[in-house]
Structure 1
Amino acid sequence: MAETPAPTDLAQEEAFLNVLPKIDVPDNVQPIPGAVNEEFRNCEAQWPPEYHDAQSGPEARALRDVYGFVQARNVVEKRDCTCTGKVASWVDVKRVTETLRKQNGVERLGWLHTKEIAAEADRLTAIAETMCGGSF
Protein backbone atom coordinates (compact mmCIF):
# COMPACT_ATOMS: atom_id res chain seq x y z
CA MET A 1 0.00 0.00 0.00
CA ALA A 2 1.46 3.35 -1.01
CA GLU A 3 2.26 5.87 1.69
CA THR A 4 0.38 9.17 1.66
CA PRO A 5 2.75 12.13 1.94
CA ALA A 6 2.59 14.15 5.14
CA PRO A 7 1.12 17.62 4.84
CA THR A 8 3.53 20.40 3.97
CA ASP A 9 1.86 22.87 6.36
CA LEU A 10 4.55 23.41 9.02
CA ALA A 11 2.00 24.25 11.72
CA GLN A 12 0.18 20.99 11.07
CA GLU A 13 3.42 18.98 11.00
CA GLU A 14 4.34 20.28 14.45
CA ALA A 15 0.83 20.01 15.92
CA PHE A 16 1.77 16.76 17.65
CA LEU A 17 3.66 18.84 20.18
CA ASN A 18 0.37 20.36 21.32
CA VAL A 19 -1.15 16.97 22.17
CA LEU A 20 0.92 16.61 25.34
CA PRO A 21 1.89 19.44 27.67
CA LYS A 22 5.07 21.28 26.73
CA ILE A 23 8.25 20.72 28.71
CA ASP A 24 11.07 23.14 29.21
CA VAL A 25 14.48 21.71 28.39
CA PRO A 26 17.45 23.77 29.49
CA ASP A 27 20.00 24.62 26.83
CA ASN A 28 22.87 23.29 28.92
CA VAL A 29 21.59 19.92 30.08
CA GLN A 30 23.56 18.44 32.95
CA PRO A 31 23.65 14.91 34.37
CA ILE A 32 21.26 14.31 37.25
CA PRO A 33 23.37 13.88 40.41
CA GLY A 34 23.08 10.29 41.64
CA ALA A 35 20.90 9.17 38.74
CA VAL A 36 20.51 5.43 38.30
CA ASN A 37 20.24 4.68 34.59
CA GLU A 38 18.34 1.61 33.50
CA GLU A 39 18.34 0.85 29.78
CA PHE A 40 14.87 0.50 28.31
CA ARG A 41 15.67 -2.92 26.85
CA ASN A 42 16.14 -4.18 30.42
CA CYS A 43 12.61 -3.06 31.35
CA GLU A 44 10.78 -5.50 29.07
CA ALA A 45 8.77 -7.03 31.91
CA GLN A 46 7.12 -3.61 32.38
CA TRP A 47 6.46 -2.80 28.70
CA PRO A 48 2.77 -2.25 27.96
CA PRO A 49 1.19 -5.11 25.97
CA GLU A 50 0.39 -2.67 23.16
CA TYR A 51 4.10 -1.90 22.77
CA HIS A 52 4.78 -5.62 22.24
CA ASP A 53 2.01 -5.64 19.63
CA ALA A 54 3.55 -2.60 17.89
CA GLN A 55 6.66 -4.56 16.91
CA SER A 56 4.97 -5.68 13.71
CA GLY A 57 2.00 -4.76 11.57
CA PRO A 58 1.02 -1.96 9.22
CA GLU A 59 1.48 0.86 11.77
CA ALA A 60 4.45 -0.62 13.64
CA ARG A 61 6.97 2.04 12.67
CA ALA A 62 4.59 4.94 13.37
CA LEU A 63 3.55 3.53 16.75
CA ARG A 64 7.16 3.00 17.79
CA ASP A 65 8.01 6.56 16.71
CA VAL A 66 5.24 7.95 18.90
CA TYR A 67 6.14 5.65 21.79
CA GLY A 68 9.79 6.76 21.58
CA PHE A 69 8.70 10.40 21.74
CA VAL A 70 6.41 9.83 24.74
CA GLN A 71 8.95 7.82 26.69
CA ALA A 72 11.87 10.20 26.08
CA ARG A 73 9.63 13.13 26.98
CA ASN A 74 8.68 11.38 30.24
CA VAL A 75 12.31 10.82 31.24
CA VAL A 76 13.23 14.45 30.60
CA GLU A 77 10.13 15.85 32.29
CA LYS A 78 10.17 13.56 35.34
CA ARG A 79 13.97 13.32 35.54
CA ASP A 80 13.55 9.58 36.10
CA CYS A 81 16.15 7.34 34.46
CA THR A 82 14.74 4.08 35.82
CA CYS A 83 12.29 1.72 34.15
CA THR A 84 9.46 3.66 35.77
CA GLY A 85 10.49 6.76 33.83
CA LYS A 86 11.34 4.97 30.59
CA VAL A 87 8.23 2.78 30.22
CA ALA A 88 5.58 5.11 28.82
CA SER A 89 1.84 4.93 29.22
CA TRP A 90 0.08 3.66 26.12
CA VAL A 91 -2.76 6.10 26.87
CA ASP A 92 -0.46 8.98 25.85
CA VAL A 93 0.62 7.11 22.71
CA LYS A 94 -3.00 6.50 21.78
CA ARG A 95 -3.87 10.19 22.30
CA VAL A 96 -1.07 11.30 19.96
CA THR A 97 -1.83 8.69 17.28
CA GLU A 98 -5.56 9.49 17.29
CA THR A 99 -4.77 13.18 16.84
CA LEU A 100 -2.37 12.42 13.99
CA ARG A 101 -4.92 10.21 12.23
CA LYS A 102 -7.51 13.00 12.39
CA GLN A 103 -5.05 15.70 11.28
CA ASN A 104 -3.89 13.64 8.33
CA GLY A 105 -7.31 12.19 7.44
CA VAL A 106 -6.03 8.62 7.51
CA GLU A 107 -7.01 5.42 9.26
CA ARG A 108 -3.46 4.06 9.27
CA LEU A 109 -0.33 6.06 10.10
CA GLY A 110 2.85 5.62 8.12
CA TRP A 111 6.39 6.78 8.77
CA LEU A 112 5.82 10.05 6.91
CA HIS A 113 3.11 10.98 9.40
CA THR A 114 5.49 10.51 12.32
CA LYS A 115 8.85 11.60 10.94
CA GLU A 116 8.73 14.91 12.86
CA ILE A 117 7.83 13.04 16.04
CA ALA A 118 10.73 10.64 15.47
CA ALA A 119 13.11 13.59 15.08
CA GLU A 120 11.84 15.14 18.32
CA ALA A 121 12.17 11.75 20.04
CA ASP A 122 15.81 11.56 18.92
CA ARG A 123 16.45 15.06 20.30
CA LEU A 124 14.81 14.24 23.65
CA THR A 125 16.59 10.87 23.83
CA ALA A 126 19.97 12.58 23.50
CA ILE A 127 18.99 14.94 26.32
CA ALA A 128 17.77 12.02 28.45
CA GLU A 129 21.03 10.13 27.90
CA THR A 130 23.00 13.18 29.06
CA MET A 131 20.76 13.59 32.10
CA CYS A 132 20.90 9.89 32.95
CA GLY A 133 24.59 9.38 32.21
CA GLY A 134 24.14 6.39 29.92
CA SER A 135 22.33 4.70 27.05
CA PHE A 136 18.60 5.01 26.79
Structure 2
Amino acid sequence: MKKIVKLFAAFAVVGALAGCARTAPVHQVHTTVSAGHTADQVKTAILKAGQKREWVMSENGPGVIKGRLQARDHFAEVKITYSATSYSINYENSLNLNAADGKIHKNYNRWVNNLDHDIQLNLSAGAAL
Protein backbone atom coordinates (compact mmCIF):
# COMPACT_ATOMS: atom_id res chain seq x y z
CA MET A 1 0.00 0.00 0.00
CA LYS A 2 2.88 2.38 0.80
CA LYS A 3 4.33 1.80 -2.67
CA ILE A 4 1.05 2.81 -4.28
CA VAL A 5 0.85 5.97 -2.17
CA LYS A 6 4.46 6.88 -2.99
CA LEU A 7 3.90 6.20 -6.67
CA PHE A 8 0.74 8.30 -6.68
CA ALA A 9 2.57 11.13 -4.86
CA ALA A 10 5.40 11.00 -7.39
CA PHE A 11 2.95 11.23 -10.31
CA ALA A 12 1.16 14.13 -8.60
CA VAL A 13 4.42 16.06 -8.20
CA VAL A 14 5.49 15.41 -11.79
CA GLY A 15 2.05 16.44 -13.05
CA ALA A 16 2.08 19.62 -11.00
CA LEU A 17 5.53 20.58 -12.27
CA ALA A 18 4.54 19.91 -15.87
CA GLY A 19 1.51 22.16 -15.45
CA CYS A 20 3.74 24.99 -14.26
CA ALA A 21 5.70 25.13 -17.50
CA ARG A 22 4.82 28.63 -18.62
CA THR A 23 7.37 29.06 -21.36
CA ALA A 24 7.48 27.81 -24.92
CA PRO A 25 9.70 28.47 -27.94
CA VAL A 26 9.20 31.97 -29.35
CA HIS A 27 6.75 31.72 -32.25
CA GLN A 28 7.87 33.51 -35.41
CA VAL A 29 5.16 34.00 -38.04
CA HIS A 30 5.95 33.82 -41.77
CA THR A 31 2.79 33.93 -43.87
CA THR A 32 2.32 34.02 -47.63
CA VAL A 33 -0.43 36.33 -48.86
CA SER A 34 -2.66 35.15 -51.69
CA ALA A 35 -2.33 36.88 -55.03
CA GLY A 36 -4.37 39.96 -55.72
CA HIS A 37 -3.35 42.11 -52.75
CA THR A 38 -1.15 45.18 -52.79
CA ALA A 39 1.40 46.04 -50.12
CA ASP A 40 -0.91 48.85 -48.92
CA GLN A 41 -3.78 46.37 -48.51
CA VAL A 42 -1.56 44.04 -46.47
CA LYS A 43 -0.45 47.01 -44.35
CA THR A 44 -4.09 48.01 -43.75
CA ALA A 45 -4.99 44.44 -42.75
CA ILE A 46 -2.10 44.40 -40.26
CA LEU A 47 -3.03 47.78 -38.76
CA LYS A 48 -6.72 46.81 -38.44
CA ALA A 49 -5.84 43.51 -36.78
CA GLY A 50 -3.51 45.29 -34.37
CA GLN A 51 -6.16 47.83 -33.48
CA LYS A 52 -8.73 45.08 -32.87
CA ARG A 53 -6.32 43.23 -30.54
CA GLU A 54 -5.26 46.46 -28.78
CA TRP A 55 -1.70 46.46 -30.13
CA VAL A 56 -0.13 49.90 -30.58
CA MET A 57 1.07 49.86 -34.17
CA SER A 58 3.45 52.36 -35.74
CA GLU A 59 5.00 52.47 -39.18
CA ASN A 60 8.76 52.17 -39.00
CA GLY A 61 9.75 52.64 -42.61
CA PRO A 62 8.60 51.15 -45.90
CA GLY A 63 7.31 47.62 -45.39
CA VAL A 64 7.89 47.66 -41.62
CA ILE A 65 5.45 48.07 -38.73
CA LYS A 66 6.38 47.93 -35.05
CA GLY A 67 3.75 46.53 -32.72
CA ARG A 68 3.59 46.82 -28.95
CA LEU A 69 1.12 45.14 -26.63
CA GLN A 70 0.81 46.14 -22.98
CA ALA A 71 -0.99 43.71 -20.66
CA ARG A 72 -0.89 44.69 -17.00
CA ASP A 73 2.82 44.74 -16.06
CA HIS A 74 3.90 42.80 -19.17
CA PHE A 75 4.63 44.06 -22.64
CA ALA A 76 5.77 42.60 -25.91
CA GLU A 77 7.20 44.28 -28.98
CA VAL A 78 7.23 42.79 -32.47
CA LYS A 79 8.54 43.84 -35.86
CA ILE A 80 6.19 43.10 -38.73
CA THR A 81 7.69 43.16 -42.20
CA TYR A 82 5.30 42.95 -45.12
CA SER A 83 4.96 43.09 -48.88
CA ALA A 84 2.20 42.34 -51.36
CA THR A 85 3.07 38.63 -51.19
CA SER A 86 3.91 37.94 -47.52
CA TYR A 87 4.32 39.19 -43.98
CA SER A 88 6.35 38.14 -40.95
CA ILE A 89 5.85 38.80 -37.25
CA ASN A 90 9.14 38.63 -35.36
CA TYR A 91 9.86 39.00 -31.66
CA GLU A 92 11.77 42.15 -30.77
CA ASN A 93 11.56 42.77 -27.03
CA SER A 94 9.49 42.09 -23.92
CA LEU A 95 9.20 42.74 -20.22
CA ASN A 96 8.13 40.23 -17.56
CA LEU A 97 7.55 37.42 -20.09
CA ASN A 98 10.47 35.22 -19.02
CA ALA A 99 12.19 35.59 -22.40
CA ALA A 100 15.48 33.70 -22.47
CA ASP A 101 17.25 31.15 -24.66
CA GLY A 102 14.65 31.29 -27.44
CA LYS A 103 11.75 30.72 -25.05
CA ILE A 104 9.05 33.05 -23.76
CA HIS A 105 5.86 32.98 -21.71
CA LYS A 106 3.04 31.13 -23.51
CA ASN A 107 0.89 34.28 -23.50
CA TYR A 108 3.23 35.92 -26.01
CA ASN A 109 2.64 33.10 -28.50
CA ARG A 110 -1.12 33.33 -27.93
CA TRP A 111 -1.06 37.10 -28.55
CA VAL A 112 0.97 36.70 -31.76
CA ASN A 113 -1.22 33.84 -33.00
CA ASN A 114 -4.34 35.93 -32.41
CA LEU A 115 -2.79 38.86 -34.29
CA ASP A 116 -1.80 36.60 -37.19
CA HIS A 117 -5.27 35.04 -37.29
CA ASP A 118 -6.94 38.47 -37.47
CA ILE A 119 -4.58 39.63 -40.23
CA GLN A 120 -5.49 36.54 -42.25
CA LEU A 121 -9.21 37.14 -41.63
CA ASN A 122 -8.89 40.75 -42.79
CA LEU A 123 -7.13 39.67 -45.96
CA SER A 124 -9.48 36.82 -46.77
CA ALA A 125 -12.62 38.82 -46.03
CA GLY A 126 -11.45 41.66 -48.19
CA ALA A 127 -11.47 44.04 -45.20
CA ALA A 128 -8.19 45.48 -46.40
CA LEU A 129 -9.40 46.05 -49.95
Question: Would you say same fold, with TM above 0.5?
Answer: no
Range into which the TM-score falls when normalised by the shorter chain: 0.3 to 0.5
Q: Which structure features the higher share of strand residues?
A: 2
The TM-score with structure 1 as length reference comes to 0.32
- Which protein has greater RCO, CA pairs closer than 8 Å, 6+ apart? 1
Bigger CA radius of gyration: 2
The TM-score with structure 2 as length reference comes to 0.34
Q: Which structure features the higher share of helix residues?
A: 1
